[in-house]
Amino acid sequence: MNVVRQLISRYLIGLLGVGAILALGFLGCRNPASSSLPPSAISPPGMAAPQLPKGDIYADETVPTPETPIETGDTLEVVIRRGAGEEKFSSVVRENGKISVGFMEVDVGGATAAVAESRLQEAAEPYMRQPRVQVLLKKKVLKVKRVFVFGDVKKPGMVPMPRNMTVLQALATVDMYHETALMEEVRVIRGGDLARPHILMADLARVFTYGDMTRNLALEENDIVFVPREHLGDAQEAAKKIMPIIQAGIAPFYPFFIIPALANAN
């Protein structure tokens, strides 16, 4: 019986030892920031992102354009001119999309400033002779843009988005990636059609290996950055679950002080 136990013990030690050596060998050789593509595999030229303005880190103030729609909470500065005189009003857009200008109430929700001018002028014509209306839209609410980072990163979740954020900057915000991350196949999932979202590939391993910044994609608001994990990382997670079973199996053959050493070897 002792001979059988010794044979089983030697077999298990050899098996676990080889497994540990192979695992450590693979871990030592694999660098998730190294690209397996040759330098000749050049990507198409990319668009350089403008430099980040100083003092504009997390929040972007919405700057109205002629196409900017009027929303609840916006402020409209209204000037009504008739003849040589003029009257000035300031009104906040209510939840029903209407503003009060003197005794008039006009629906401007969803309209542009130019359309609001036309509606206010039509509303004033029965009471004034040839009124001329000018509307200035003011957006006073600071909107914090955001992106989402998931996968084999250290702190997954939502991160604030400064202007001109790239995939690499988003990963730096979540304390970068784990050693098991597959940096050659980082995915950026962009919204729009939820049934068929736009998926972009960012090969950050190539960025680190060759300095090819065309693979460091510029992000847009609400983008989802997903960092996949290589199959070796999945095997490591499986080993963590299998190791307690192995320990229980070899417990009758090994003293209690040898089992932790075997476990630490992996």
Say whether pLDDT at 259 is over 60.
no
Instruction: Provide CATH 3.30.1950 ranges for the chain.
Output: 63-140
Please check whether the domain covering 63-140 is classified as CATH 3.40.140. no
Say whether pLDDT at 52 is over 80.
no
Say whether pLDDT at 160 is over 70.
yes
Instruction: Provide CATH 3.10.560.10 ranges for the chain.
Output: 144-229
Q: What was the pLDDT predicted at 128?
A: 87
> Could you tell me where the beta strands, DSSP code E, fall in the chain?
59-61, 75-82, 85-92, 98-101, 104-107, 132-138, 142-144, 146-151, 157-160, 186-190, 198-202, 224-227
Please check whether the domain covering 144-229 is classified as CATH 3.10.560.10. yes
SS3 state of residue 79: strand
Instruction: Give residue 23's pLDDT band: very low, low, confident or very high (50, 70, 90).
Output: very low
> Is 60:137 a contact under the CB 8 Å cutoff?
no
Instruction: Give residue 26's pLDDT band: very low, low, confident or very high (50, 70, 90).
Output: very low
Which of 83-92, 150-159, 196-205, 231-240 is predicted with the least confidence, judged by mean pLDDT? 231-240
Which backbone phi and psi does 91 adopt, to 5 degrees? -140, 140
**What is the number of H-type helices and E-type strands within the chain?**
6, 12
Instruction: Give residue 53's pLDDT band: very low, low, confident or very high (50, 70, 90).
Output: very low
Say whether pLDDT at 167 is over 90.
yes
Distance between CA 263 and CA 250 in Å, rounded?
Answer: 11
Instruction: Give residue 105's pLDDT band: very low, low, confident or very high (50, 70, 90).
Output: very high
Please tell me which residue, 25 or 198, carries the higher pLDDT value: 198
Q: How high does pLDDT run on average in the chain?
A: 75
Which of 10-19, 49-58, 74-83, 109-118 is predicted with the least confidence, judged by mean pLDDT? 49-58
Instruction: Give residue 163's pLDDT band: very low, low, confident or very high (50, 70, 90).
Output: confident
Bridging pattern class, strands 157-160 and 142-144: unpaired
Q: What is the mean pLDDT of residues 27-40?
A: 60
* % the chain with pLDDT above 70: 60
Instruction: Give residue 226's pLDDT band: very low, low, confident or very high (50, 70, 90).
Output: very high
Which of 6-10, 146-150, 170-174 is predicted with the least confidence, judged by mean pLDDT? 6-10
